[in-house]
């Protein structure tokens, strides 16, 4: 029996999709920029079926591509346009919340759980899972772990890596590794889960996880402020951290062009204040209880900002609906940019103190290479991660010659600045296929060599998500 026949025996014929049109949503990325052919999409119901699928592919030497919500932004979740067509293993049926332990403050979930559903399950136990992204209504826990997703709460709660306690993984030969512990302390040798966090589907399939929960932030205050420059944003950050550091849970920056694109291209989004300010900040304070009024605290710190001429204008949300509306503006940036044109999204992180310098030098570099590009800036400035986006209208982009070469030059022009400031070219989106060339350019040869050793040890046949993360795999 051929591979497809054997896979059908494992999951049932109706859970194997082979039609090109039926597979389209799995073979094209969220932005519609990357496409490739797949042998099929399989939809296993549980870890045993995942293991049997993987063992079958291993026997036949067929590549495997784990897929979550397919919201990744670096082309890592879709097949390559060349090479052997992989079996896509979709986790979308594995969406069970297995258990919540409010005393241990943990939740055990299957990898296909949508991130927003994990938030809801934690909330129903008066707990909080802090990883929050614009894509949280469709990305899956397995995908967020495989990419070590960041998002808007990193400055307070850390990245996904900081919030995973245990994993269950199907290894490339089909072996199930069950590391589903909820322990905070466990010094028994190499902590293997960290190999799989951020591995982008190149070392196995994450099938379940134990996640760390936090007290639910019952009180929240959110403000939107207009500023003249990123330097003033950093001064505001220092001011707030000096007064309310432990309560600061969001500190997001965008430039005027980014706000204009959201207001223009996403229905129901309004600018919270007049858009004439060149820079805009979203600030959130939160806690799970305690003394004092958070709105008043935010008001007080904004007044200090006015007095120091750091803030030109600001509004504090007066209700839960208004707080949500401010966050919706922030969470709509990717949708707006996708509709508005072609953005060459970069994902640098630099030391927080260097972010203003990074923005100014990267702008200079990009304008020297591509005078027709506008610059969209949006970022988690509180943790030093800036999405610096050289941006073209569709017409301007289509009129350019040698677009691939130009994109690469622009990317290098931005990432070189981050590297010179002690930063990285990938803070939270990962490497996928978009950033492969940067691995050779910025990673030390010793680091790449070690990564290859790990890859060869765990996936000696090189079947898992080939051509991603590591150049020439
Ligand atoms: C509107 C929007 C906003 C976003 N905002 C942010 C943001 O603020 N911060 C951020 O970090 N990212 C952000 N992203 C990027 C994206 O949502 C994240 O990378 C997310 O973690 C991907 O999850 P997913 O389930 O969609 O994974 P996919 O896109 O399906 O896969 C991503 C990678 O993980 C691998 N993978 C997926 N599931 C598994 C699994 N179970 N086991 C092993 N490997 C697996 C895939 O092979 C692929 O390499 C955003 C994307 C969009 C569209």
Mutation to probe ligand 1, out of 31, 77, 96, 143 (largest number of atoms < 8 A from CB): 143
Domain count, the chain: 4
Q: What is the pLDDT of residue 194?
A: 98
Q: 311 and 367: one domain?
A: no
Evaluate whether 443 touches 161 at the Cβ level (below 8 Å).
Answer: no
Distance 326 CA to ligand 1 centre (A): 23
Task: Please check whether residue 466 lies inside any domain of the structure.
Answer: no
Q: 111 and 173: one domain?
A: yes
Q: Is 205 in the pocket of ligand 1 (CB under 6 A)?
A: yes
Evaluate whether 289 touches 252 at the Cβ level (below 8 Å).
Answer: no
Task: Please check whether residue 460 lies inside any domain of the structure.
Answer: no
Distance 195 CA to ligand 1 centre (A): 17
- How far, rounded to the nearest angstrom, does the alpha carbon of residue 459 sit from its chain's CA centroid? 25
Q: What is the pLDDT of residue 314?
A: 97
Q: Is 143 in the pocket of ligand 1 (CB under 6 A)?
A: yes
Which ligand 1 atom minimizes the distance to the CA of 73?
15
Return the axis-axis angle of helices 333-340 and 256-265, rounded to nearest 10°: 80
Q: What is the pLDDT of residue 110?
A: 98
Q: CATH number of the domain at 121, please.
A: 3.30.465.10
Q: What is the pLDDT of residue 414?
A: 98
Task: Please check whether residue 312 lies inside any domain of the structure.
Answer: yes
Assign 365 a pLDDT band (cuts: 50, 70, 90): very high
Query: Pairing between strand 164-170 and 205-212?
Result: antiparallel
Distance 17 CA to ligand 1 centre (A): 22
Question: Please, which residues bridge with residue 390 across strands?
Answer: 375
Distance 73 CA to ligand 1 centre (A): 7
274-281 average pLDDT score: 90
Q: What is the pLDDT of residue 245?
A: 84
Dump pLDDT digits (tens) for 282-336. 999 999 987 889 999 999 999 999 999 999 999 999 999 999 999 999 999 999 9
Q: 357 and 420: one domain?
A: yes
* Residue 338 reports pLDDT greater than 90: yes
Return the axis-axis angle of helices 355-369 and 403-420, rounded to nearest 10°: 150
Mutation to probe ligand 1, out of 46, 51, 63, 67 (largest number of atoms < 8 A from CB): 67
Domain coverage including residue 48? 3-90
Backbone phi, psi, residue 327, to 5°: -65, -35
Q: 210 and 236: one domain?
A: no
Q: What percent of the chain has pLDDT over 70?
A: 100
Assign 1 a pLDDT band (cuts: 50, 70, 90): confident
Task: Please check whether residue 435 lies inside any domain of the structure.
Answer: no
Q: 53 and 124: one domain?
A: no
* Residue 361 reports pLDDT greater than 80: yes
Q: 300 and 392: one domain?
A: no
Q: 229 and 317: one domain?
A: yes
Dump pLDDT digits (tens) for 264-275. 999 999 999 987
Task: Please check whether residue 310 lies inside any domain of the structure.
Answer: yes
Q: 29 and 101: one domain?
A: no
Among 411, 429, 447, the domain-final residue is 429
Task: Please check whether residue 471 lies inside any domain of the structure.
Answer: no
Dump pLDDT digits (tens) for 210-268. 999 999 999 999 999 999 999 999 999 999 999 888 899 999 999 999 999 999 999 99
Q: What is the pLDDT of residue 372?
A: 87
Q: What is the pLDDT of residue 401?
A: 87
Distance 135 CA to ligand 1 centre (A): 8
Q: What is the pLDDT of residue 278?
A: 96
Q: What is the pLDDT of residue 196?
A: 98
Q: 192 and 107: one domain?
A: yes
C-alpha span between 191 and 334 (Å, rounded): 34
Among 330, 355, 373, the domain-final residue is 330
Q: 51 and 69: one domain?
A: yes
C-alpha span between 455 and 202 (Å, rounded): 8
Q: 224 and 175: one domain?
A: no
Q: CATH number of the domain at 411, please.
A: 3.30.70.2740
Closest CA to 328 of 404, 393, 267: 267
452-460: Cβ within 8 A, 24+ apart: 454/195, 454/203, 455/202, 455/203, 458/171, 458/172, 458/195, 458/203, 458/204, 459/172, 459/202, 459/203, 459/204, 460/172
Q: CATH number of the domain at 26, please.
A: 3.30.43.10
Q: 178 and 248: one domain?
A: no
Question: Please, which residues bridge with residue 87 across strands?
Answer: 40, 64
Among 330, 364, 399, the domain-final residue is 330
* Residue 174 reports pLDDT greater than 80: yes
* Residue 59 reports pLDDT greater than 80: yes
Q: Is 142 in the pocket of ligand 1 (CB under 6 A)?
A: yes
Dump pLDDT digits (tens) for 82-135. 889 999 999 999 999 999 999 999 999 999 999 999 999 999 999 999 999 999
Instruction: Give the alpha-carbon dihedral of 424, 235, 366, 152, to 10 degrees.
Output: 50
Dump pLDDT digits (tens) for 413-431. 999 999 999 999 999 999 9
Q: What is the pLDDT of residue 305?
A: 97
Q: What percent of the chain has pLDDT over 90?
A: 95
372-399 average pLDDT score: 95
Closest CA to 357 of 282, 426, 420, 427: 420
**How high does pLDDT run on average in the chain?**
96
Provide the token pair at 65: 């591509």
Contacts of 339 (CB under 8 A, 6+ apart): 265, 266
Task: Please check whether residue 376 lies inside any domain of the structure.
Answer: yes
Q: CATH number of the domain at 226, please.
A: 3.30.70.2190
Task: Please check whether residue 131 lies inside any domain of the structure.
Answer: yes
424-446 average pLDDT score: 96
């Amino acid at each position: 029996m051929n591979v497809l026949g054997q896979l059908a025996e494992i999951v049932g014929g109706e859970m194997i999709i082979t039609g090109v049109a039926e597979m389209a949503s799995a073979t094209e990325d969220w932005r519609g920029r990357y496409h490739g052919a797949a042998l099929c999409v399989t939809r296993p119901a549980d870890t045993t079926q995942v293991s049997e699928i993987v063992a079958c592919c291993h026997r036949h030497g067929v590549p495997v591509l784990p897929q979550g919500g397919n919201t990744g932004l670096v082309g890592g979740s879709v097949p390559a346009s060349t090479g052997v067509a992989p079996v896509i293993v979709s986790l979308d049926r594995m969406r069970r919340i297995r258990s919540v332990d409010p005393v241990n403050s943990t939740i055990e979930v299957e990898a296909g759980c949508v991130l927003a559903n994990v938030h809801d399950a934690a909330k129903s136990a008066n707990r909080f899972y802090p990883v929050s992204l614009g894509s949280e209504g469709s990305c899956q826990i397995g995908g967020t772990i495989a990419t070590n997703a960041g998002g808007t709460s990193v400055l307070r709660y850390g990245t996904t890596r900081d919030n995973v306690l245990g994993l269950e993984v199907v290894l490339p030969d089909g072996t199930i590794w069950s590391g589903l512990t909820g322990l905070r302390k466990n010094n028994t040798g190499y902590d293997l889960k960290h190999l799989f966090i951020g591995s982008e589907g190149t070392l196995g399939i994450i099938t379940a996880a134990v996640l760390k929960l936090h007290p639910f932030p019952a009180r929240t205050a959110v403000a939107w402020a207009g500023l003249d420059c990123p330097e003033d944003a950093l001064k505001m950050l220092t001011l707030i951290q000096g007064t309310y550091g432990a309560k600061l849970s969001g500190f997001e920056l965008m430039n005027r062009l980014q706000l204009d694109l959201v207001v223009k291209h996403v229905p129901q989004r309004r600018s919270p204040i007049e858009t004439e300010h060149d820079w805009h900040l979203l600030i959130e304070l939160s806690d799970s209880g305690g003394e004092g009024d958070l709105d008043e605290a935010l008001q007080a710190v904004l007044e200090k900002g006015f007095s120091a001429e750091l803030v030109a204008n600001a509004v504090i949300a007066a209700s839960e609906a208004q707080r949500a509306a401010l966050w919706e503006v922030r969470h709509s940036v990717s949708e707006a940019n996708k509709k508005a044109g072609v953005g060459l999204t970069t994902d640098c992180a630099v030391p927080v103190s260097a972010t203003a310098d990074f923005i100014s030098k990267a702008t200079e570099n990009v304008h020297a290479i591509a005078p027709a590009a506008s610059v969209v800036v949006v970022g988690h400035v509180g943790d030093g991660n800036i999405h610096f986006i050289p941006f073209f209208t569709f017409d301007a982009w289509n009129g350019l010659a040698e677009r691939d070469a130009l994109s690469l030059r622009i990317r290098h022009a931005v990432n070189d600045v981050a590297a010179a400031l002690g930063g990285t070219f990938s803070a939270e989106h990962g490497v996928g296929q978009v950033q492969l060339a940067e691995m050779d350019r910025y990673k030390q040869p010793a680091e790449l060599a070690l990564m290859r050793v790990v890859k060869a040890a765990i996936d000696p046949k090189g079947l898992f998500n080939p051509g991603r993360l590591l150049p020439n795999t």
